[in-house]
Amino acid sequence: QVQLEESGGGLVQAGGSLRLSCAASARTFSSHTMGWFRQAPGKEREFVATINWSGDSTYYADSVKGRFTISRDNAKNTVYLQMNSLNPEDTAVYYCAARTYYSSLHFLVRPHEYNYWGQGTRVTVSS
């Protein structure tokens, strides 16, 4: 069982930055692929970024590439999402997700590929 808790959301002006954190309960955190997704009102949950177990391989949605950075600290059981140059289209609830014991080179970009989820943290970007 893995529990995930996101934090760091809030209200920010367009062009601003936020850093989201996701703390995991699992002692085996370093064995899991982690991902960030987001869901805007009235829209489906969409992939944002993913990072492999060791942190040396990442993949981003085109919409955030060059603006967002995913990273992890396995010693702290935490994954981060640094979000820069935010715009109103980034407004959504952001979710952290884990796929346990996954070490393939294939990047996981679909929600059903993850087996644990956090409750989400809301990000609102004002224009």
Of residues 105, 58, 99, the one with CA closest to residue 80: 58
Residue 67, both tokens? 């603006």
Q: Which burial class, exposed, middle or buried, applies to 88 when counting CB atoms under 10 A from its CB (0-12, 13-18, 19+)? A: exposed
pLDDT value at position 106? 86
The half-sphere exposure of 109 on its side-chain side, counting CA atoms within 13 A, is 9
DSSP H or E run through 121: strand 121-126
pLDDT value at position 4? 97
pLDDT value at position 104? 80
The segments of the chain whose pLDDT lies below 50 read: none
pLDDT value at position 26? 77
Distance CA(43)–CA(54), nearest Å, equals 32
pLDDT value at position 20? 98
Q: Which residue has the tokens 């929600």?
A: 111
**77-86 pLDDT, tens per residue?**
999 999 999 9
pLDDT value at position 28? 87
Distance CA(81)–CA(98), nearest Å, equals 14
Ramachandran class of 16: left when φ > 0, alpha when ψ lies in -120 to 50, beta otherwise: beta
User: Please, are residues 70 and 36 in contact by the beta-carbon 8 Å criterion?
Assistant: yes
